[in-house]
Structure 1
Amino acid sequence: MVYRFGSHIPLPGVDINEVNRFITDQENANSGILGLLNSFTGGSFKRASVFALGIMPYISASIVVQLMGMAVPYIQKLQKEGESGRNKVNQITRWLTIGICLVQAPAYLTLVTSQILPYDPASSYAIYVIPPTNFWFWFPSTVILITGTIFAMWMGEKITDKGIGNGISILIMVGILADLPKAIFNAFEVDPSNGIFFLIEMLGLILVIAMCIMIVAAVRKVPVQYVRRAQTSSSSYMRSVTDSVRSYIPLKVNAAGVMPIIFAQAIMFLPGTLANYFLDDTSSVKQFFAKMADPFTWEYNLIFGLLIIIFTYFYTAITIPVNQMAEDLKRNGGIIPGIRPGKETANFLDEILSKITLPGAILLTLLAVLPAIVKLLGVEQSLAMFFGGTSMLIMVGVILDTVQQINTYLLNHRYDGLMTSGRTSRDI
C-alpha cells in the first residue's frame, strides 16, 4: 500500500493534476523500453513520482554482483562464508545501488523533461511549477529519486525479514499488477458489444498463465543414491551395516528464469535509443532502428527470439555449476546410478542440462513474442503486454514462490501444534 501510494507522489515542482491530464490526452511512454520500465514501476516512471526509478537499480546491482561472483575471487570468497558473507555481499549491493542511482537519476530527469513530460513554457499544460532548467528543480529531484529507490529497497528487505516471500520481487509484482485492471477495462471498452471476443481474450490469458506455470515449475529429476554407513555392536561381534537413501536433483527446464528476456530486451532497445539522440529524424538508419525497437514488428521479434535462445544457454551455463554439483555429491557420498563420481557425473549433468535447455528456451521465446502475435489477432495493446513476456513470468514466478512459502509455513505450524498439544491436523 505504501509503495503504491508513493507512486502517485510527484517530484517537487511537478503538478500531478496536469501530469495526469497530459498522460490521458497524449497516452505517451507506453511502448518500447519506456513502457517496460513504466510497467515495472507501476506507472511511477511516466508520472515523475518519487518512486520513478522504482526498485530496478537494486535489481541491476544484484545482477552485476551475481555476475562478479563468477569472475572476482573476493566476491566468490564472500559467497562461501555463510551468513556473514551474504551480509557483506548485500552491503556491496546496496552501495552499488546508490552508485547506479547517481547515474540514472539525472538521466531520468533529462528524459522526463524532454520526452515523457516535455517542458514547453508556451504549452497549455502547466506541468512544471518550477522550470526544469532551474537548479532548485534538479538538485532536490535527484536526491529524492535516489532516496525513493533506497526507501523501496528498505521496504523490500523488511517484507523479506518479517513477511512471506521475497520482498523485492513482491514490490515488482505489485507494480506490474497495478496496470492489469486498467488493461482489462480498456480491452472491454474497445468494443463492449463484442462480449464473445472479450471472453476468448480472458480464456487465452488463463491459458498463458498455465503455460507460464508449466515453464517456471517444470523440472527434470535426476535420481541420486546416498550411501549411509552405520555400525552395530553386540557382545560377540561388531559389524558394519550399509544403508542407502534415494533422492533426486531437480534440474529446472528454465533455469535462467526471466534473465534471457531482460538481456535480450536491453540489447534490442539500445540501438534505437542511441539513434534517437544522435541521428536525424529523416535518416533511414534511424527509421530502421526505430522499427527494431518496436516490440510488435516481425523484424524485432525474429531477432529478439534468437537472442533469447542464445542468452538462455549462456545464463544457464554460468549459473548452474555442474562441476561443483558433482564434487558436492562425491563429498556427501551421493552417486547417480550407473555413473561414476567426479568428472563423469559432471559430464552427465551437463548433457542433461543441454538437452532440457533447448525446449525451455523455445518455450521462453514463444512466451516472449506472444504479445506481438495476440496483438495481430486484435487484442488491445495494453492487455496484449500481459500475454507473456517479462511481466507475466515475474508475476507467476513470484506468486508460485509466495504460495510455496505460505504452504511451508502452514505445514510447520501444524506440525509444531501437533507436537506441543498432541492434537491431530484435523483438530488444528
Structure 2
Amino acid sequence: MLEKLANIFRIPDLRKRILFTLGLLAVYRLGGHIPTPGINADKLQQFFEQNRGSFLGFVDLFSGGQLRRLTIFALGIMPYITASIILQLLTVVYEPLAKLQKEGELGRKKITQWTRYLTVILSAIQSLGIAISLQKGGDFVVNPGPSFTLMTMLTLTTGSAFIMWLGEQITERGVGNGMSLLIFAGIVVGLPRAVADLIDKVKTDAWGAFTAPAMLILIGLMIVVVAFIVYVERSERRIPVQYAKRVVGRKVMGGQSTHLPLRVNAGGVMPVIFASSILSLPPMIGSGLGLKNSRYFGGLFTALQWGEPLYTLLYAVGIIFFAYFYVSIVFNPNEVADNMRKYGGFIPGIRPGKRTSDFINEVLTRITLVGALYLIIISFIPEWMIAGIHLNHLPGAAGAFFERLPSWVTNGLGVNFYFGGTSLLIVVGVAMDTVT
C-alpha cells in the first residue's frame, strides 16, 4: 500500500494534480472559518443544535457544516448544482438550447457560462432569503436592517461564485470531480464533531434504557450501508460483444470477444444531490419571503420538512427521475450501437443497428431502476433512524397506527446527519470514483 502511494508521487503530472487539488481544498476549508459580518454566532449554533435532526441539518450537511456558522461559503455548491439541473432540463425541452449543446466545445462553453450566471442569480435569491429569515427569526443578527441584508447578499453570493470557481479548477487541473470533492471534504471534516456529539449522548444516557441498543443499531447500520454501497458501486451488467474478422490492407483485424460494461448506478451520487438541492429550494425561499407561517402556504412548507410523508414521496420520485435523466445525458445507446457497427462489432443474437440500440436501452432501463431503488434505500433507511419516521402525520387509521410506535421510531435518535446514508454514499462514492 505504501509502495503504491510512493509510486503516485513519482509521477510528476499526477503529483502536481494531487497537490493542486489539496491546495484548493485547503482554501475551501479556510473560507469555512470566516464568518459573515453581523452574525451572533453563538445563537445560530445553538439554533442548529436544537434542529440537528431536521431539514436544516440535512441542508447543513451539503455545506460542510458552514451554514450553522454562516460563513462566507455557507451556501456551498447548492446554487451551482441547482443551476446545472435547470440548464440540463432546458436542453431537453428547449430545442435551441439542445442544438447549442450539440455544437461541440463552443456550445458547451456557452452553456457553462449561462450556468455561472444562473448560479449567481440563485445565490443572490437564497442569500436574500437567509438574511430576511435571520432578522425575523430571533437574536441572530447584531444590527438588523437594510445594510445587513445587502452585506449578507454580497458576501454569500461572492462566496458561492468563488466555490464554483474552485470546483471548476479542481475538475480541470486537479484530480476527480471538483464539486463532488468539495462536498466530500465538508462531510469528512464534520465527522469528528459528529462522533464527539455521539459520545456525549452516550455519556449523558440521552436515550435512557435504549442507549446501548441504539448505539449498536447505529454502528451496525453504518457498517452494513458502507458494505452495500461498495458492493453496488462496483456492480455492472456486462453485455457480450463480438467483433467480426475483417481485412485491412495486409492485416486481419477483429475477431476478438469483449463486453460492454453498464454500471448499475451509473449516476453515482448525483441523483441524490440533484433531488436534495431541488427540494431545498422551496423551504429556503419560503422562509425568506415569510411564507412559512402563511395561512395559505404554511401547511405546504410543513409538509416539505424532512421526514414528512410528502417530502419522502417527492424525494423518492426525484431520485428515480434524476437517475434516468443523468444516465440519458452521459450514455447514448444510439451512439454506442453506431460505433459498434462501424468497427464490425455486434451483440450475439442481436442484429446490428436499431435492434442493438433498443436492446442496450432496454437493459439500461432495467438496471437504472435497480440503481435508483438502491439510492432510495441508502438515502432513506439511515435518515429515518436519525430524524424519525413522521408517518404518524398521515390522516386516519394509518396515522393512528404509526402514532403507537416507539418515540425513537417516530422522532429518531437525533444524531448528526453525518451518520446518514446520504453522507456515507457521498463519502464512499466520491472516494471510489476519485481513486478510479
Shorter-chain TM-score tier: 0.7 to 0.9
Q: Is the 8 A contact 2:52 2:414 kept in 1?
A: no
How do residues 389-400 of structure 1 correspond to structure 2 at under 5 angstroms? Answer: 389=422, 391-400=423-432
Question: Do the aligned partners of residues 108 and 81 (structure 1) sit closer, same or farther apart at CA in structure 2, a change above 3 Å counting?
Answer: same
Q: Counterparts of 1:81 and 1:394 in 2: how far apart (Å)?
A: 33
**363, 377, 381: which one aligns with 1:370:** 381
Q: Counterparts of 1:38 and 1:254 in 2: how far apart (Å)?
A: 25
**206, 210, 224: which one aligns with 1:207:** 224
CA RMSD of superposed structures (Å): 3.4
Q: Is the 8 A contact 1:13 1:137 kept in 2?
A: yes
Question: Do the aligned partners of residues 299 and 248 (structure 1) sit closer, same or farther apart at CA in structure 2, a change above 3 Å counting?
Answer: same
Which runs of 5 or more residues in structure 1 are unaligned? 120-126, 234-239, 405-428
**41, 61, 69: which one aligns with 1:19:** 41
Q: Which segment drifts farther, 315-324 or 201-210?
A: 315-324
1:93 and 2:115 are equivalent in the alignment:
yes
Q: Counterparts of 1:128 and 1:43 in 2: how far apart (Å)?
A: 19
Q: Which segment drifts farther, 330-339 or 304-313?
A: 304-313
How do residues 343-362 of structure 1 correspond to structure 2 at under 5 angstroms? Answer: 343-362=354-373
Q: Counterparts of 1:160 and 1:396 in 2: how far apart (Å)?
A: 19
1:163, distance to aligned residue in structure 2 (A): 2.4
Question: Do the aligned partners of residues 400 and 298 (structure 1) sit closer, same or farther apart at CA in structure 2, a change above 3 Å counting?
Answer: same
How do residues 165-180 of structure 1 correspond to structure 2 at under 5 angstroms? Answer: 165-180=176-191
Partner of 1:9: 34
1:151, distance to aligned residue in structure 2 (A): 1.4
Partner of 1:50: 72
How do residues 249-288 of structure 1 correspond to structure 2 at under 5 angstroms? Answer: 249-262=260-273, 264-265=275-276, 277-278=290-291, 286=298
How do residues 212-361 of structure 1 correspond to structure 2 at under 5 angstroms? Answer: 212-227=229-244, 229-231=246-248, 241-262=252-273, 264-265=275-276, 277-278=290-291, 286=298, 290=302, 292-296=303-307, 300-301=311-312, 304-305=315-316, 308-309=319-320, 312-313=323-324, 316=327, 320-361=331-372
1:138, distance to aligned residue in structure 2 (A): 2.4
One-letter amino acid matched to 1:179:
G
Partner of 1:408: none
Q: Is the 8 A contact 1:208 1:387 kept in 2?
A: no
1:169, distance to aligned residue in structure 2 (A): 1.4
Q: Deviations over 1:215-270 (max 9, x none)?
A: 3332111122334633455xxxxxx7353233322222123434444455467667
1:286, distance to aligned residue in structure 2 (A): 4.4
Q: Is the 8 A contact 2:73 2:156 kept in 1?
A: yes
1:91, distance to aligned residue in structure 2 (A): 2.5
1:387 and 2:420 are equivalent in the alignment:
yes
Question: Do the aligned partners of residues 181 and 251 (structure 1) sit closer, same or farther apart at CA in structure 2, a change above 3 Å counting?
Answer: same
Q: Is the 8 A contact 1:29 1:46 kept in 2?
A: no
Tell me, what secondary structure is at the counterpart of 2:257?
Answer: strand
Question: Do the aligned partners of residues 336 and 374 (structure 1) sit closer, same or farther apart at CA in structure 2, a change above 3 Å counting?
Answer: same
1:388, distance to aligned residue in structure 2 (A): 0.8
Tell me, what secondary structure is at the counterpart of 1:44?
Answer: coil
Q: Deviations over 1:95-142 (max 9, x none)?
A: 222232232221222233333xx34xxxxxxx534x2213x3222322
Tell me, what secondary structure is at the counterpart of 2:92?
Answer: coil
Q: Which has the higher Rg, Structure 1 or Structure 2?
A: 1
One-letter amino acid matched to 2:85:
I
Question: Do the aligned partners of residues 272 and 8 (structure 1) sit closer, same or farther apart at CA in structure 2, a change above 3 Å counting?
Answer: closer
Q: Is the 8 A contact 2:54 2:306 kept in 1?
A: yes
**135, 151, 156: which one aligns with 2:167:** 156
Partner of 1:128: 141
Q: Counterparts of 1:303 and 1:56 in 2: how far apart (Å)?
A: 18
Q: Is the 8 A contact 2:134 2:141 kept in 1?
A: no
Q: Is the 8 A contact 2:236 2:264 kept in 1?
A: yes
Q: Counterparts of 2:95 and 2:76 in 1: how far apart (Å)?
A: 31
Question: Do the aligned partners of residues 305 and 91 (structure 1) sit closer, same or farther apart at CA in structure 2, a change above 3 Å counting?
Answer: closer
Question: Do the aligned partners of residues 285 and 12 (structure 1) sit closer, same or farther apart at CA in structure 2, a change above 3 Å counting?
Answer: closer
1:208, distance to aligned residue in structure 2 (A): 1.0
TM-score, normalising length from structure 1?
0.76
Tell me, what secondary structure is at the counterpart of 1:362?
Answer: helix
Partner of 1:411: none
1:162, distance to aligned residue in structure 2 (A): 3.3
1:86, distance to aligned residue in structure 2 (A): 3.7
Question: Do the aligned partners of residues 242 and 216 (structure 1) sit closer, same or farther apart at CA in structure 2, a change above 3 Å counting?
Answer: closer
Q: Deviations over 1:357-378 (max 9, x none)?
A: 3322322221121124434469
Q: Which has the higher contact order (CA 8 A, sep 6+)?
A: 2
One-letter amino acid matched to 1:204:
L
Q: Is the 8 A contact 2:229 2:425 kept in 1?
A: yes
One-letter amino acid matched to 1:221:
R
Which runs of 5 or more residues in structure 2 are unaligned? 1-25, 206-210, 387-407
Identity %: 37
TM-score, normalising length from structure 2?
0.74
